[in-house]
């Protein structure tokens, strides 16, 4: 019985150490350990090379919900709120180096592998189709990837990553890993459009059909996410400018 108060005192001393989170002295004994756990999950996540595994993501989300009442009387709520809001869409190193890279590879590789490209559209924006494509097309997605240092790791994390990436948010907030993955897809499509334009310009040979197809595809992708500002009409305007002359 004597131990408990000293743990509480200790944890209230420990709480301010995480520089990004202000302390909250007014917490119930049920809240304090939860908020300590939330703080360490959020801190760990912000430093991690990898996105959280689904269990950890779900746990963090549910602690984030508790923060609203646990920290209701503290400024700390702002700090936790901000970190919780960006939890799903924070981009980790592994994602820029491996996940986006894999999307980019599969885009180029697919035309040379009709048994994959005819069956699986890895750039679809339809949530149900996406789930199916990435489940059934796993080997096609990982295949272009052999001899790449990411391959092993992407393969071992594939199921867990995809379960995060392919579960749309229920609250319509566009801040889940699903939305982040959709953004990766759009960014890759836009990159490919840019390089097709550059390539055609340098060869002085325009395939208008192809450019319009690519532009529409990018636009459709962007229309399905709030995470990219809709400024791409400008790019499509340019495409049409090229094609008109």
Ligand X SMILES: *[C@@H]1O[C@H](CO)[C@@H](O)[C@H](O)[C@H]1NC(C)=O
Nearer to ligand X, 33 or 237 (CB): 237
- The residues near 1 (Cβ < 8 Å, ≥ 6 apart) are none
In the bound complex, which residue of the shown chain has the CB atom lying closest to ligand X? 210
Q: Which stretch binds ligand X (CB under 6 A): 135-143, 179-187, 204-212, 220-228?
A: 204-212
What is the smallest separation between the CB atom of 154 and ligand X, expressed in angstroms?
19
What is the smallest separation between the CB atom of 55 and ligand X, expressed in angstroms?
5
8-state DSSP, 32: H
How many angstroms separate the CA atoms of 175 and 171, rounded?
9
∠ Cα 209 215 217 (to 5°): 100
55 is a contact residue toward ligand X (CB under 6 A): yes
47 is a contact residue toward ligand X (CB under 6 A): yes
Q: Which stretch binds ligand X (CB under 6 A): 8-16, 24-32, 104-112, 235-243?
A: 235-243
8-state DSSP, 230: S
In angstroms, what CA-CA distances link 95 with 33, 102, 148, 157, 161?
31, 9, 15, 11, 10
238 is a contact residue toward ligand X (CB under 6 A): yes
Q: Which stretch binds ligand X (CB under 6 A): 52-60, 87-95, 108-116, 147-155?
A: 52-60
Locate 170 and state its tokens.
């229920």
Q: Is the dihedral of CA 198, 204, 207, 208 positive or negative?
A: positive
195 is a contact residue toward ligand X (CB under 6 A): no
End-to-end Cα distance, the chain: 84
What is the smallest separation between the CB atom of 20 and ligand X, expressed in angstroms?
8
φ, ψ of residue 235 in degrees (nearest 5): -65, -40
169 is a contact residue toward ligand X (CB under 6 A): no
One of 54, 113, 150, 220 touching ligand X (CB under 6 A): 54
Residues near ligand X, by CB under 6 A: 47, 54-55, 58, 167, 207, 209-210, 213, 237-238, 241
């Amino acid at each position: 019985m004597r131990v408990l108060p000293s743990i509480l005192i200790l944890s209230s001393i420990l709480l301010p150490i995480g520089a990004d989170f202000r302390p909250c002295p007014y917490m119930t004994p049920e809240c304090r350990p939860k908020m300590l756990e939330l703080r360490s999950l959020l801190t760990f996540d912000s430093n991690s090379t990898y996105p959280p595994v689904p269990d950890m993501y779900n746990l963090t989300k549910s602690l984030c919900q508790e923060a609203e009442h646990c920290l209701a009387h503290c400024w700390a709520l702002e700090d936790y709120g901000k970190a919780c809001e960006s939890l799903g869409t924070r981009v980790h190193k592994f994602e820029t180096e491996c996940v986006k890279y894999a999307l980019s590879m599969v885009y180029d590789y697919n035309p040379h592998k009709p048994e994959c490209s005819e069956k699986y559209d890895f750039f679809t924006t339809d949530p149900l189709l996406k789930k199916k494509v990435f489940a059934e097309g796993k080997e096609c997605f990982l295949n272009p990837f052999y001899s790449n240092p990411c391959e092993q790791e992407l393969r071992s994390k594939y199921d867990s990553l995809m379960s995060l990436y392919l579960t749309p948010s229920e609250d319509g907030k566009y801040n889940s890993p699903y939305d982040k993955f959709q953004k990766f897809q759009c960014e890759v499509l836009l990159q490919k459009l840019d390089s097709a334009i550059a390539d055609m310009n340098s060869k002085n040979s325009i395939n208008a059909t192809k450019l319009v197809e690519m532009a529409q595809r990018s636009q459709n992708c962007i229309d399905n996410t709030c995470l990219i500002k809709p400024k791409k009409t400008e790019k499509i305007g340019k495409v049409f400018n090229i094609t008109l002359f």
